[in-house]
Amino acid sequence: MSASVDFQEAEYATERPLLEIRNLAIGFTTSNGEVNAVRNAHLTVMPGETVAIVGESGSGKSTTALAAIGLLPGNGRVAAGQILFDGEDISNASEKRMIELRGNSIGMVPQDPMSNLNPVWKIGDQVRETLKANGLPSGPDDVAKVLSQAGLPDAGSRAKQYPHEFSGGMRQRALIAIGLACQPRLLIADEPTSALDVTVQRQILDHLDKMTTELGTAVLLITHDLGLAAERADQVVVMYRGQVVESGPSLELLQNPQHPYTQRLVASAPSLASRRIQAAKELGVETDDMLAPSETGVVEPSKTDEVLQIQNLRKVFKLRSGLGKSTDFTAVDDVSFSVKRGTTTAIVGESGSGKSTVAQMVLNLLAPTSGKIIFDGVDTSTLNSKDLFAFRRRVQPIFQDPYGSLDPMYNIFRTIEEPLRTHKIGDKASREKKVRELLDQVALPQSTMQRYPNELSGGQRQRVAIARALALDPEVIICDEAVSALDVLVQAQVLNLLAELQSRLVLTYLFITHDLAVVRQIADHVCVMEKGKLVETGSTDDVFESPQQDYTRALLNAIPGAGLMLPPEVEVA
């Protein structure tokens, strides 16, 4: 009898959800009263299962995940419902109990690397701290192993560097290493690969798959990449305005969405839209998803001049190697290309390939070791302070990290208005009108003006950064992963906005990105970088249809969802 009971109990344990959220409501106390961020939310994660939560910025995805690990902000609380972890209700568990669960039982990979890594601690020390806190071996080899598993090359040397010495993608990999270090039973991954190129993204996701298979680790994946959700998740949960509006098996839900909001998400997703592009290419026709030059009004290349010329650009950094010694690291090696006025050129490649370093040199934020950057016929290295001030108005950046590029002490109105005031454009009334117009353009309510960056989601902060870049009506915009933090609906809006502005103002874009589906949608020309070198360049059609290099083919083959069936035709509301 005892054996039978034990067998039944074991069978029940394997069927019991690892995480179950029932009728969850989360509220925030603000100066204007109680705000209901999540209402009646429900989801289930089984052992070894990957469940993706998708939805636009502000829909409650991250808030729901933070509640599950007990990391809501001080003004947030679980107002109703249950959060069951392995059968235990932890919705109102003590801080002591949550500390016991974090690490070995529940791991977390947060969204933003710069605000979640200690800037004055070396990366290795931060990994070591996690291992020691959970009673695991924490020697140099153990730290290097954890970093290697997260996709960091030369992990032993990288462990001795600080966060500011890493690219955005490398910082994200360090966060992933910390989250996976203790091999938790449940990993909550909040946009864990949004800053990663597709090849490293595949490496990280393959590692997550290996954990779920070998260790039974479950993954709660927060993402705006529907291609990734379709390819990697067993179940998908769709959230809209704090509520779960649809859930089910990933492929079934994304190929046959029932709720109008899910249909809009699928129709707007560039990772899935790229499949429609490929289908149209096979038929020899274009689709509405393509922003073809004739549709955007971009001037034909033969009729434009080269607004940017990059000539034999090289950048060498000094890296500390211990005992006061340093070694040379060549981040950009003899890169040359040109950008025609009124067109979009995309630079793609893995994290650490030199993309962002090129962008910073074009913006005159980094001095090249050698080579030239010619803007509108003038070598930017020869600009005096007055000319450089004028250059700043004509060339504006949209940076990758919306946390680091916005002043936390400025409200949104002051953040967007600052460049107008700095360049002495207009009076107070006209500047306020301009700010309101810019917020409308990036799909943010005008009430956002009085809020601060910490009160906005990551995607909302990125929209503010885009509005700020557009404030001076520049001629050239350097977009460094400008849409990587945006959900697919807002991403589509922003890409269409950029195309519309390009048409109306003959803007030029230099687009730094790892999202090849976005590149296929918006770029006229593509430059492919690998380990600091430019390995392939050409028109977007030529590079995507007939890549010449194995590295380029590997990037294209790693696009999430590239092998999926086309979703059904849906109407976008």
What is the pLDDT averaged over residues 213-224?
83
How confident is the model over 442-463, as pLDDT tens digits?
A: 878 888 888 888 888 767 787 8
**Most confident residue range from 254-263, 307-316, 401-410:** 307-316
CA–centroid distance for 173 within its chain = 12
More confident residue, 569 or 487: 487
**Phi, psi of 430, rounded to the nearest 5 degrees:** -70, -35
Q: What is the pLDDT of residue 568?
A: 41
How confident is the model over 544-572, as pLDDT tens digits?
A: 888 888 888 888 877 665 544 334 443 43
How confident is the model over 22-48, as pLDDT tens digits?
A: 999 999 887 777 888 899 999 999 988
pLDDT class of 68 with cuts at 50, 70, 90: very high
What is the pLDDT averaged over residues 286-308?
44
Residue corresponding to tokens 């960091």: 152
Fold observed for domain 16-258: Rossmann fold (3.40.50)
- Cα 237 to Cα 24, 108, 445, 501, distances in angstroms: 14, 19, 26, 35
- The partner residues of 235 in beta bridges, in order of sequence, read 51, 249
CA atoms within 13 A on the CB side of 317: 15
Q: What is the reported pTM?
A: 0.60
Q: How far apart are CA 47 and CA 220, in angstroms?
A: 11
Q: What is the dihedral of CA 529, 533, 539, 544, to 10 degrees?
A: -40
Under a CB-based contact definition with an 8 Å cutoff, are residues 300 and 348 in contact? no
Q: How far apart are CA 19 and CA 34, in angstroms?
A: 27
**Phi, psi of 544, rounded to the nearest 5 degrees:** -75, -35
| Fold matches, 16-258 and 293-298+344-367+380-557 | yes
Q: How far apart are CA 517 and CA 214, in angstroms?
A: 32
**Phi, psi of 297, rounded to the nearest 5 degrees:** 80, 15
Closest among 524, 202, 483, 487 to 350, alpha carbons compared: 202
DSSP string, 18-58: SEEEEEEEEEEEETTEEEEEEEEEEEEE-TT-EEEEE--TT
**Most confident residue range from 222-236, 272-286, 390-404, 414-428:** 414-428
Give the lowest-confidence range in 238-252, 427-441, 483-497: 483-497
Q: How far apart are CA 247 and CA 253, in angstroms?
A: 7
Under a CB-based contact definition with an 8 Å cutoff, are residues 45 and 218 in contact? yes
Under a CB-based contact definition with an 8 Å cutoff, are residues 107 and 92 in contact? no
Q: What is the pLDDT of residue 562?
A: 52
How confident is the model over 336-380, as pLDDT tens digits?
A: 999 988 889 999 888 778 888 999 999 999 999 999 999 988 999
Under a CB-based contact definition with an 8 Å cutoff, are residues 432 and 450 in contact? no
Q: Mean pLDDT in the chain?
A: 81
* Domains of the chain, residue spans: 16-258, 293-298+344-367+380-557
pLDDT class of 295 with cuts at 50, 70, 90: very low
Q: Is the pLDDT of residue 279 over 60?
A: no
444 SS3 class? coil
H or E stretch at 76: strand 76-85
Q: How far apart are CA 243 and CA 193, in angstroms?
A: 24
Q: How far apart are CA 320 and CA 172, in angstroms?
A: 21
Q: What is the pLDDT of residue 561?
A: 58
| Other CB atoms within 10 A of residue 388 CB | 11
Locate all alpha helices (DSSP H) within 363-407, ordered by sequence.
385-394
Q: How far apart are CA 178 and CA 129, in angstroms?
A: 9
More confident residue, 271 or 305: 305
| Tokens linked to 222 | 């927060």
Q: What is the pLDDT of residue 560?
A: 64
| Other CB atoms within 10 A of residue 12 CB | 10
Burial pattern 491-505, b for ≥16 Cβ within 10 A else e, equals bbbbbebbbebbbee
509 SS3 class? strand
Closest among 357, 395, 400 to 378, alpha carbons compared: 395
| Tokens linked to 142 | 């153990």
CATH class of the region 293-298+344-367+380-557:
alpha beta
Question: What is the CA angle 411-415-418, rounded to 5?
Answer: 130
Q: What is the pLDDT of residue 270?
A: 59
Q: What is the pLDDT of residue 402?
A: 67
Under a CB-based contact definition with an 8 Å cutoff, are residues 25 and 79 in contact? yes
The count of residues in the chain is 573
Q: How far apart are CA 295 and CA 312, in angstroms?
A: 34
Q: What is the pLDDT of residue 321?
A: 66
More confident residue, 307 or 9: 307
